[in-house]
Each structure stands twice: as structure tokens, then as C-alpha cells.
Chains A and B, each alone.
Chain A
Amino acid sequence: MEQLSKILYENILTILIFIPIIFSLPLLFLKKQSEKFIKIYSLLLSLIVFIFSLFLFLKFNPDVEGYQFIVKYKWISFLNADYHIGIDGISLLLIMLTTFTIPLSILISWQSVNKRIKLYYFMILILEGSLIGVFSSLDLLLFYVFWEFILIPMYFMIGIWGSEERVYAAVKFFLYTMIGSVLLIIGVIWLVYSCMEKDMFLNAENALRKFTLDITQLDKISPFLQPQRQILLFLLFTIGFLIKIPLFPFHTWLPDAHVQAPTAGSVILAALLLKMGTYGLLRFSVPLFPVAFLTLTPYLAVLAVVGIIYGALVSIVQKDMKKLVAFSSVSHMGFIVLGITALTQEAVQGSVIQMVNHGLSTGALFMLVGMLYERRHTKEIAQFGGIAKVMPVYAGIFLVVSLSSIGLPGLNGFIGEFLILLGAFGSQNLKSIYYSVFSATGVILSAVYLLWMYQRVFTGPVDKDENKNLKDIGKIELACLIPVLIFIVWIGVRPNTFLHKSEKSVNKIILQFKNAEIINKTRNTIDINNSVFREEK
């Protein structure tokens, strides 16, 4: 028994990745008639994964620097690519978010998805496995395999179960992200070869001796690559991430994908897939290429601020509720990127917690909009009015979630945005308070679009006949929302439960960055000395 629990403890990540993938396969061979069984089976499966991940959360030691639960097996000896997984605090929170969101998105589809349900739940479950894979891979090839594989179930999610324009949206989503992935793979290969070239380094000793894709080794070496090469590599890596986030101006796939996707698809997309981008920034772009990051910080930060304001402004004028929420994502993800560019302890912590917050609040908003759509088959704001009188509970929950998204103190959104703005204000990396000042308007604008929508949909007289007999929220729907509400309040009141987990990891990234910065500064002076010396000669 003890041995069993030891094996379990050591391989917990592998279990988390492969339980949903392997155990979703039997679904494909079930009979179509056993609908109820399929639903219950997938729900139970996702709940089991969630319970395992709770175990992960409790056993995770926040005081240890570096990765935990590391597993490493030989995979492809030719490339020295390993099955190498492990997590730090940042991955932990995102994995928790994944295992938390998936059961909810299965529940939310309980009544709304009636078409090809075997395939539907199969897709959701393999998405879960691959997402956990993305957030825990420490090997670049493994990471890339999971990263790219996620496209396939998501493409089908949007394309099969979406609304009218689904095929267009699915193809657009696929091609956009594929461009990013293609650049990423060039970046990966080039990074490893660059690290092996001796003349890429000031000190040839630094160069990598053999081909490896292990990021725990690469991130010790690649910060010392020549700045020019670093910038190119940084761009190859980062453009893929920026498309995924999506940061302005790479966001144009997002509204289509979100609006056309089924509710659960939107929830997974917003809560989890977008986080892959910001996770990539934090895990790869910043630690691997600090010099490039330093050079390009102003551009990234400006894009983030533009994204915050642009996303909010466009949200204001939307007539469709789902589109409004989709554009608000662009705005919120801008905050997260701003936090990362600020690169102070507070800001990055804020970004990490904001990733979770955005997953909760926007996910919940998509669920709520989906519920209304099921009742009325429209998402147009003008079709509603006075809904609060007909559906009081629903209206109440909607208000709480909106306020959390706006950033009302006491709810989760406030913690993230406050930390980011605070961090960005005093950031040495950004060197200017104006980023913080301008993005603060995003908070105000978010109040404008969300509350205005709330006002138009929920308050006033019930002037449409169709709206008079709408049913209030049902039991299953309530079961989807209550867990989210609990965490919305929990993070708002006691954020330390979660912030504490990622503290060391964030600290490590910032320290790594600082060290690299110092070493590269000395290198610059040496470079200058050398050139002066040469000229004298």
C-alpha cells in the first residue's frame, strides 16, 4: 500500500495527463443510445482528475525553488528528447485551473449538446490531458507536441458543435494558431543549434556540448546568446504565444472563434487555451531570452496597453453579448501581458493570479451567456430587458461575476489588476508610469461595458413577450456556477492561498532575469573595451 502511494506520488503528473486521454478512448466504442452513461462517465472521469490534482495542490511545496514532481524517461535518444515533466508554482495554478474548468464545461454541456455526444466528450477529455501536458512539459519537443495537438480537438469543437459560421471560425482559428506554431518550431530548433555554436557566446565554455531540448538546461545557457540572435529567437517564440494570448493586433481570430464555439468551447478557449500563450511568455520567452525581452519590453508593453484600451472600447459598442465578453478577453489578457513586461514581483504575481481570475470570471460569463442563449436562442442585447424580474437568481449571479471581472475589491479581479497596476507603476523594466496610468482606464472602461450591458439586459421593464416566461436558473446550471463563485470570493478575500504557491517560482524567474541582465551589461562593457582596444591597434 505504501509503495503504491509512493508510485502514485511520484507519477502523479503522468497520471493527470494520461487518465483523461486513455480513459476517454472507450467512449468512442459505446453505443449512441447510452447518452446518460457517456455524460456521467466523462463527468466522473474529470472529477477523478480534479481530485488527483487536489492531491498535487496539497503536496506541492511552495518553499522549494525550481521544479517539483519531476519525471524523466528517455524518449528519443537521438535528439536527447526526454519525456520530462515537472511543475513549479505557475504551472500548478494553471493545472488546477484546467482540472477545475473541465468538469464544469462538461456539466454546462449536459443539456445543450445533443449532437454526437460521444465525440464531444472525447474531445473535451483529450483537450484536458494535452493541456496538463502543455503546462507541465520541461522538454521543448514534448511541449511542442502537446501544444500543437491541442489544435485538433479545438478545431473540431468549434467546427462541429458551433453555431452558423462555425466552419469559417474553425478554419480561421486553426490557420492563425498554426502560423504561430510553425514559427515556434523554427525557434525551438534554431535555439538549440544556436546554443551549440561557440561563437554565439562571449565565453565559448558556455556553449552546449550536445543536442538537448531540456529547458532546465537551456535556460541556463541561452540568456548569454548574442543579443541579435536572441531577438530573432525571441520573436520566433513569442509571436506564436502572442497569437494565442491574443495580444492586439493578433487578436482577430478570437471574436470569431468565441462567438461560434459552443458554450463549453468558449469556456475552455477563454479559461485555458489563452493561458497557454501567457504561460509560454513566462516559461520560455522571459527566462530564455532576457536581453531580447529587455530590448523589446517597450513594444510589448505598448501593445498590451493598446490591447487593454482597444479591447474595452470595442466591447462597449458590441450588440452581441458573447462578442462583448470575447473582446473583454482581449482587454483582460492585455493586463496579464503588461504584468509580465513589468517584471516586478508584484506585477508578475498579479499576472499569474489574473490568469486564474480571467479563467474563472470570463469562463463564468460565457457560461451565463450560454444559458440565456439556450432559453432565448439569441445573444443580442437589444432582445432583452428586465430579465432580473423574471430570473432573479440568474441576475444576481451575473452581477457578481460581472463585478469580479470589473475588479471590485473583495472579489478576485481586483487582486490581479491591482497587483499588476501596482507592479507596473514602480517597474524598473518599464521605466515609465504611463503604462500603468493608461491601462488603469481599462478598469474604468470595463465597468462601462459590463455594467451597461447589465443595465440593458437585466433592469427596466420586461418589454418583450418572449422574455416573460423565461425559467430561472436550473440545478445543473447552478452546480456549474457555485464552484466558480466560491473561488471568485475566495481569491478576492484570501488570495494568499494561491499567491503563496507561485511566489518562489515568480521570484526565480525575476532573479534569473536580473542575473542575466547584470552579466550581459558587463559583457557589453567588455565588448566596448575590446572594440576600443582594436581601434587603438
Chain B
Amino acid sequence: MQNLILYSLSNFIPETILVVTIIVCIIADLIIRKKSFAVTFVAIVGLVLSFVFVVKQWGLSMSIFSGMLAIDNYAVFFKLLFIISTLFILLFVETSKEMKTASHKNEHVYLILSLTTGAYLMASSVNLIMMYISLEMVSLTSYILAGYLKKDKRSTEAAIKYIIYGAASSGIMLYGMTLIYGYTATMNINEIFLYLSKNPITDTPVLLASVIMISAGFGYKISSVPFHFWTPDVYEGAPIPITAFLAVTSSAAGFSVLVRFFLVGFANTEIITAVKWQEVIIVFSIASMIIGNFVAVWQTSLKRLLAYSSIAQSGYILLGLAVVNSAGLFAVILYLSAYLFMNLGAFYVTILIHNKLGTDNMDEMDGLGYRSPFIGVTMAVFMFSLAGIPATVGFIGKFYIFSALINTNSPNLTWLAVVGLLNSVVSLFFYVKVLKHMFLNKPEKPLPELDYGYANILITLLLAVPTILFGLYFTPLLRLAENSIKIFGLN
């Protein structure tokens, strides 16, 4: 027993490093007692160290802590994604004026790191209990972060709304888990799969109900319709760096566990025909795309627009899951990597705009493309990428999602590809609307040019360059994705 724990701990180093970093950050914060980059720096060092050890886990395939967590390439991929996004978010916070108005000093650093730790656990959990606990860990820190500007009414309101929705959906999820446990007498998803594939499935309504209930928990994390109601308000109310963090890390973590839950626990033709979860995912996906895209058209706030765009993007990613084969999963992984760069980029440009204008209302952005050509051009890159125009990484993501849909015959999902692509035409309308404000609309009176520091420009370029580069040459991403999904053994 002791050996097992020691063995598990030796493969738990990346998480341990993060936890230690959190403690060091807290102590440092207590000693320094004022706003300081030192705390952030400690966090960055911790993340980089953790990165090194995560990379070392590449190629391993094992389960630790008696089947609670899995160490595999799939988890490693997500951990890398979380590290990169957390690094960016820490930099975002440093350059955001909004965050400086907070009455707290350095608390955000270790809150962000705790969320990342939770996300790590989500990506590697293979046990329902572990899934629930890690999901709650992510949620709890997100509530605090969403209400970080406690003097700002909207931020506090966002936090409260978030808690209510979060509590309700994780409650529902827990209930769904008990149903599954009642049915299969196990919490481990590998064992659930074994049980379901060996025994004839009799009570399909129970299983279907539990699957839908569990999806409520995951669906709320990835902000998929019909569990999306919190998204626009929280995205709007929370400080923008935090919004970006929720949109990328928290949502990717949701996908990591959702995909693992379904593709490990239920990926078998008989189970799919009996439980019909594929249909459930398809319905969620179509609803997310349609509601996300169509409601986004009417938004005037850039943050709300990006919120609805996130809902729609979740819909596209769910399409990849709905295919239930390796090509679909491949596309999901690819889309999430694309999503990391383009969505963080879009949010960072929003931060930069907010720094100067103090608002994210798009009517105020008329002519912004000329006031700061850099902002205009990079925003164009991110918007076109989100819309899936070629020569950007967003196109690659969509291309693979739709090729997976077209190249499957059981059942024929080509119609779904058509629905998705027509939706992306709608999405183009509102993404281009942002650019329309920046370039085509004339401001009422001439406004001064905006200057941005080198740090801001550098961070933006770190996101914009991969967005284009991976759009033109994406073989590295493909190799990464190919290796990440091998453990699922899908065909």
C-alpha cells in the first residue's frame, strides 16, 4: 500500500510542483504585502518547472492512486495546453488596467494556479468521484476569480450567478453519477465500460437519464446549450483576463473530462445504440451552434459577443465528439489547440482596447483600426481565425471537424457538417461586424491615435504569429494530436 502511494506520488510531480508553488506564492504574498511582480514570477517559475515534468510524462500510460488518475498522452496534451494558457493569463493580468483596480494584491496569482491544478486533475481523472472533485475545484476558484473586483457590482453579480448555476449543475451531475453507480456498482470509467459491454443493457432510460445529468455538469463547464445561461453574464461581469481564463482553460478542462467520460466509458457500438448518448451530444451541439451564433449577431458588447462565440465554438467541438471515432477525437484535439491561440488572442486584444477606452462596447470602437493599426490587424487575424477562414489555424480546426463528419458512415453525419458550416457563415457575420466597427465605420469626431507598449505588442504577437503560422503549416499540431489520442484505441 505504502509502495503504491509512493509510486503514485512519483508520477504526481507536476501537480505537486503546482501545489508547492501555490504555497510559496501565499507566503511571498504575506511577506511582500503589496502588489508585486515577484509573486507572478514565482508562479511562472513553478509553471515552467511543472511544464518540464509534464513533458517527461509524455509516452507513459498508467493509472495512479488506485485508479483515480490516469497518466497518459491525452492528459499530457491537456496539461500542456493549461500551462500555456495559464502563462498567458498571468501576463494578461500584469498588463490589464482593470485588474489593477482590484483591492486585492496578489491573490489572483495563486487562485489562477489553483484553477490550473484543478484542470490538471480533471484532464487525468478516470474516476467519477475524482471527476466531480476536480471539477468542483475548478469551479470554486472560478467563482472567486469572477468576483475578483469586489467593488464592481457587475463582477460580484457575475460571481453570484456563476455560483448558483454551478451549484445547481454540479448537483445534477452528482445525482447522475449515483445513478450510474447504482447501475454498474463502480466509479471507475474503465470498469463502467467493461460492465456495460459485458452485460446486456436493460434499463436504458436510467442510463440515458444519468448520461444527460452528467452532461449537465460538463456542459456547464464548456458552456454548451442548454447549460450556457451563466456564460454571457459572467463573461461580461468578470475582469477580462479572468474571462479569457474561463473561456480557454476552464472550458478545455471541461472538454478533457467530457471526452474521456464518453469515449472511454461509452464508446462501443452496442452501448451507443442502447444509450443513444451520441444523439444527446448532437442535439447539444446543434443547439449550441445555433443559439451561440444567432444571438451573437445582436450583441454590442465585445465581451458578450465573445461569450456567445464561445458557446458556438463549443458546439463545433462537440461535433467532433459526436462522430465517435479517432478522426473526430483528432479534430477535437486540433480544434482545442487552435482555440487556445485564437481565443486568448481575441481576449487579449479586448483587454488592450479596454485599457485605453475603458469599455468593451463596440460602438466606441469605430475607427479603432486606424487609431491603432496593430490592434486592428491582429484583431482581424483572430476574428478570421475564429470564423474559420483559411490561412489561419481556425480553418484547420474546422477543416478536420468537418472532414471527420463527412468521412463517417455509421450513421451518416454529412448533414451535420452542412449545418455546422452554414452556422459558420452566420458566425462570419458577427466576427466581421467587429472589424466593420474597427475599419469601416467612421467615428463621429476624429480621435487621437493609441500607442501600446512593447510588452503589449509582444504578447499579442506571441498569439497572432502561431495563429497564422499553424494555419499555413500545421504538421506539428497534427503529430501532437495524433499521439495524444492513441490511448483511446478508437478506429
A344 nearest CB across to chain B (Å): 35
Q: Which B residues from 400 to 455 make CB contacts under 8 A with A?
A: 402-403, 406-407, 414, 417-418, 421-422, 424-425, 428-429, 432, 436, 439-441
**A75 an interface residue at 8 Å Cβ cutoff?**
yes
Q: Which A residues from 23 to 43 make CB contacts under 8 A with B?
A: 28
Cβ-neighbour of B406 out of A28, A116, A186 (below 8 A): A186
Cβ B407 vs Cβ A189 within 8 A: yes
In the complex, what distance in Å separates the CA atom of A516 from the CA atom of B478? 37
**B80 an interface residue at 8 Å Cβ cutoff?**
no
A125 nearest CB across to chain B (Å): 16
A535 nearest CB across to chain B (Å): 28
Residues on the B chain within 8 Å of A144, using CB: 390
Cβ B390 vs Cβ A149 within 8 A: yes
Q: Which A residues from 42 to 87 make CB contacts under 8 A with B?
A: 75-78
In the complex, what distance in Å separates the CA atom of A174 from the CA atom of B426? 11
In the complex, what distance in Å separates the CA atom of A78 from the CA atom of B439? 37
In the complex, what distance in Å separates the CA atom of A252 from the CA atom of B441? 24
Cβ A167 vs Cβ B425 within 8 A: no
In the complex, what distance in Å separates the CA atom of A167 from the CA atom of B403? 34
Cβ A167 vs Cβ B441 within 8 A: yes
B289 nearest CB across to chain A (Å): 13
In the complex, what distance in Å separates the CA atom of A534 from the CA atom of B221? 57
Cβ A179 vs Cβ B407 within 8 A: no
Cβ A167 vs Cβ B389 within 8 A: no
Closest residue of chain B to A193 (Cβ to Cβ) is B407
Residues on the B chain within 8 Å of A145, using CB: 390-391, 395
In the complex, what distance in Å separates the CA atom of A152 from the CA atom of B387? 12
Cβ B422 vs Cβ A160 within 8 A: no
**A171 an interface residue at 8 Å Cβ cutoff?**
yes
Residues on the A chain within 8 Å of B389, using CB: 148-149, 151-152
Residues on the B chain within 8 Å of A170, using CB: 436, 440
Cβ-neighbour of B440 out of A76, A77, A167, A182 (below 8 A): A167
Closest residue of chain B to A148 (Cβ to Cβ) is B390
Cβ A182 vs Cβ B422 within 8 A: yes
Cβ A189 vs Cβ B439 within 8 A: no
**A159 an interface residue at 8 Å Cβ cutoff?**
yes
Q: Do A76 and B428 contact each other (CB < 8 Å), given the known contacts A151-B389, A186-B402? A: no
Closest residue of chain A to B414 (Cβ to Cβ) is A190
Residues on the B chain within 8 Å of A151, using CB: 389
Cβ B441 vs Cβ A77 within 8 A: no
In the complex, what distance in Å separates the CA atom of A207 from the CA atom of B403? 18
Cβ-neighbour of A193 out of B370, B373, B406, B429 (below 8 A): B406
**B384 an interface residue at 8 Å Cβ cutoff?**
yes
In the complex, what distance in Å separates the CA atom of A116 from the CA atom of B370? 9
**B294 an interface residue at 8 Å Cβ cutoff?**
no
In the complex, what distance in Å separates the CA atom of A151 from the CA atom of B478? 27
Residues 363-401 of B, flagged 1 when their CB comes within 8 A of A and 0 if not, give 000000010010000001000100001110001000100
Cβ A171 vs Cβ B406 within 8 A: no
**B103 an interface residue at 8 Å Cβ cutoff?**
no
Residues 470-490 of B, flagged 1 when their CB comes within 8 A of A and 0 if not, give 000111001000100000000
Cβ B418 vs Cβ A186 within 8 A: yes
Q: Which A residues from 187 to 211 make CB contacts under 8 A with B?
A: 189-190, 193
Cβ B421 vs Cβ A182 within 8 A: yes
Q: Do A174 and B439 contact each other (CB < 8 Å), given the known contacts A78-B478, A185-B402, A185-B421? A: no
Residues on the A chain within 8 Å of B380, using CB: 152
Residues 148-178 of A, flagged 1 when their CB comes within 8 A of B and 0 if not, give 1101100110011000001100110011001
A232 nearest CB across to chain B (Å): 9
Residues on the A chain within 8 Å of B425, using CB: 175, 178-179, 182
Query: Chain B: how many interface residues by the 8 Å CB criterion?
Result: 32
Residues on the B chain within 8 Å of A116, using CB: 370
Q: Do A76 and B475 contact each other (CB < 8 Å), given the known contacts A160-B440, A167-B440? A: yes
Residues on the B chain within 8 Å of A75, using CB: 473
Closest residue of chain B to A155 (Cβ to Cβ) is B432
Residues on the A chain within 8 Å of B402, using CB: 185-186, 189
Query: Chain B CB within 10 Å — which of A152, A185, A190 has the most?
Result: A185
Cβ-neighbour of A78 out of B370, B440, B475 (below 8 A): B475
Q: Do A76 and B436 contact each other (CB < 8 Å), given the known contacts A148-B390, A167-B441? A: no
Q: Which B residues from 455 to 476 make CB contacts under 8 A with A?
A: 473-475
In the complex, what distance in Å separates the CA atom of A248 from the CA atom of B391? 31
In the complex, what distance in Å separates the CA atom of A438 from the CA atom of B478? 54
Q: Do A166 and B440 contact each other (CB < 8 Å), given the known contacts A76-B474, A174-B428, A178-B425? A: yes
Q: Do A186 and B440 contact each other (CB < 8 Å), given the known contacts A149-B390, A178-B428, A193-B407? A: no
B481 nearest CB across to chain A (Å): 10
Residues on the A chain within 8 Å of B436, using CB: 159, 167, 170-171
In the complex, what distance in Å separates the CA atom of A160 from the CA atom of B428? 18
In the complex, what distance in Å separates the CA atom of A189 from the CA atom of B420? 14
A391 nearest CB across to chain B (Å): 33
Q: Do A189 and B406 contact each other (CB < 8 Å), given the known contacts A145-B391, A160-B440, A182-B424? A: yes
Residues on the B chain within 8 Å of A152, using CB: 380, 384, 389
In the complex, what distance in Å separates the CA atom of A295 from the CA atom of B421? 27
B178 nearest CB across to chain A (Å): 42
In the complex, what distance in Å separates the CA atom of A388 from the CA atom of B159? 73
Residues on the A chain within 8 Å of B384, using CB: 152
In the complex, what distance in Å separates the CA atom of A179 from the CA atom of B426? 9
Cβ B439 vs Cβ A171 within 8 A: no
A307 nearest CB across to chain B (Å): 24
Residues on the B chain within 8 Å of A189, using CB: 399, 402-403, 406-407, 417
Cβ A190 vs Cβ B406 within 8 A: yes
Residues on the B chain within 8 Å of A179, using CB: 422, 425
Residues on the A chain within 8 Å of B474, using CB: 76
In the complex, what distance in Å separates the CA atom of A149 from the CA atom of B391? 8
Residues on the B chain within 8 Å of A175, using CB: 425, 428-429
Closest residue of chain A to B376 (Cβ to Cβ) is A119
B479 nearest CB across to chain A (Å): 8
Residues 107-129 of A, flagged 1 when their CB comes within 8 A of B and 0 if not, give 00000000010000000000000
Residues on the A chain within 8 Å of B391, using CB: 145, 149
Residues on the B chain within 8 Å of A149, using CB: 389-391
Residues on the A chain within 8 Å of B422, using CB: 179, 182
Residues on the A chain within 8 Å of B373, using CB: 28
Cβ B421 vs Cβ A186 within 8 A: yes
In the complex, what distance in Å separates the CA atom of A159 from the CA atom of B437? 11
Closest residue of chain B to A179 (Cβ to Cβ) is B425
Residues on the A chain within 8 Å of B432, using CB: 155, 171, 174
Residues on the B chain within 8 Å of A160, using CB: 439-440
B468 nearest CB across to chain A (Å): 12
A250 nearest CB across to chain B (Å): 15
Closest residue of chain B to A196 (Cβ to Cβ) is B407
A478 nearest CB across to chain B (Å): 33
Closest residue of chain A to B370 (Cβ to Cβ) is A116
Residues on the B chain within 8 Å of A148, using CB: 389-390, 395
In the complex, what distance in Å separates the CA atom of A148 from the CA atom of B396? 13
Residues on the A chain within 8 Å of B403, using CB: 189, 193
B191 nearest CB across to chain A (Å): 35
Closest residue of chain A to B407 (Cβ to Cβ) is A193
* A148-B389, A186-B418 given; 6 more Cβ-contact pairs under 8 Å: A167-B441, A179-B425, A183-B421, A186-B402, A189-B406, A193-B407
11 A-B interface contacts by CB (under 8 A): A75-B473, A152-B380, A159-B440, A170-B440, A175-B425, A178-B428, A182-B425, A189-B402, A189-B403, A189-B406, A189-B407
**The 8 residue pairs across chains A and B that have the minimum distance between CB atoms:** A145-B390, A182-B421, A159-B440, A189-B403, A193-B407, A148-B390, A78-B478, A189-B406
